[in-house]
Amino acid sequence: MMPGTEGYRRPARWMHWLIAVLVLLMIPAGLIMVQKGLPRPVQDTLFIFHKNTGVILFLLMVLRLAYRWRYPPPPLPGSVPGWQRLAAHVTHIGLYVLLIVMPISGYVRVRAGGFPIEGLDALGIGTLLPKSEALATAAQSVHITCAFLLMALIGLHVAAALQHALIRRDGIWSRIWPP
Ligand code: HEM
Ligand code: HEM
């Protein structure tokens, strides 16, 4: 088999798609739940979904990064030019960093604000932070800024992936699909 054509291992593929679906649900949930004038039950449901799924995403990301460390991804095929390798590498690092920063800043924003995270509360995992308006506000700015960076990187990432899948058909797509 040519180097670069064997693709990601199955657990890496599963984690990619599970996390992708969850993130693609988290973003609209986050954007909608902060709108003014939403019916209260809708807003509450979105907040509960967003906070608790965000915590699960954090755990999945830790698992994914540990797996990646243990089983590094296969090398890209030689047909991919140097600047695209670099672009892919930088984008992937950016996505990983943001997917760690997002749940942590969300957690800090909520806990320093003195709010519940229902799943953790039910498990008896109390807050790790004191209540602090200043900390909550700082974390909120990080969360919102990083949310927009994340959306931009996902846009770039999906555009590149579709280009490989539909136009170049160079085998990059089948490195990660099917799970
Ligand atoms: C639904 C649209 C998506 C498509 C079509 C897609 C497609 C792909 C493809 C084809 C690869 C393999 C690239 C390679 O062979 O090197 C990949 C890798 C990756 N994707 Fe996605 N992806 C999507 C969504 C996402 C989302 C939402 C995220 C994160 C927020 C994400 C994060 C990543 C990361 C970090 C890698 C690199 C994996 C690694 O090398 O460790 N993807 N994606
Ligand atoms: C990968 C994980 C996450 C993603 C992609 C994400 C994404 C978003 C987005 C797009 C927004 C809307 C930003 C805006 O325009 O106001 C938002 C808001 C928010 N998120 Fe997250 N989030 C994540 C994790 C979390 C977690 C784990 C928590 C809490 C435990 C959380 C709590 C919040 C809160 C409280 C807001 C409202 C911010 C405000 O006060 O305006 N998020 N999130």
Residue 43 forms part of a structural domain: yes
Taking the C-alpha atoms of residue 75 and residue 72, their distance in angstroms, rounded to an integer, is: 9
Give start and end residues of each alpha helix (H) in the chain. Answer: 10-33, 40-70, 82-112, 118-122, 133-162, 173-176
- 54: pLDDT strictly greater than 70: yes
| pLDDT at site 1 | 47
Number of structural domains in the chain: 1
- 4: pLDDT strictly greater than 90: no
User: Alpha carbon 59 to chain centroid distance?
Assistant: 11
Domain harbouring 142, CATH code: 1.20.950.20
Residues with CB under 6 A from ligand 2: 23, 26-27, 30-31, 34, 50-51, 54-55, 57, 99, 102-103, 106-107, 109-110, 117, 140, 143-144, 147, 150
Nearest CA to ligand 2 atom 32: 106
Average pLDDT over residues 36-52: 98
User: Which domain does 118 fall in, by range?
Assistant: 10-176
Give the burial class of 169: count Cβ atoms within 10 A of its Cβ; 0-12 exposed, 13-18 middle, 19 or more buried.
Answer: exposed
pLDDT tens per residue, range 118-172: 999 999 999 999 999 999 999 999 999 999 999 999 999 999 999 999 999 999 9
Average pLDDT over residues 63-87: 96
Residue 1 forms part of a structural domain: no
Query: Residue 106 in contact with residue 23, Cβ under 8 Å?
Result: no
Average pLDDT over residues 73-102: 96
Taking the C-alpha atoms of residue 61 and residue 8, their distance in angstroms, rounded to an integer, is: 16
> Ligand nearest 96 Cα, by number?
1
Residue 138 forms part of a structural domain: yes
Query: Residue 95 in contact with residue 153, Cβ under 8 Å?
Result: yes
Taking the C-alpha atoms of residue 37 and residue 71, their distance in angstroms, rounded to an integer, is: 47
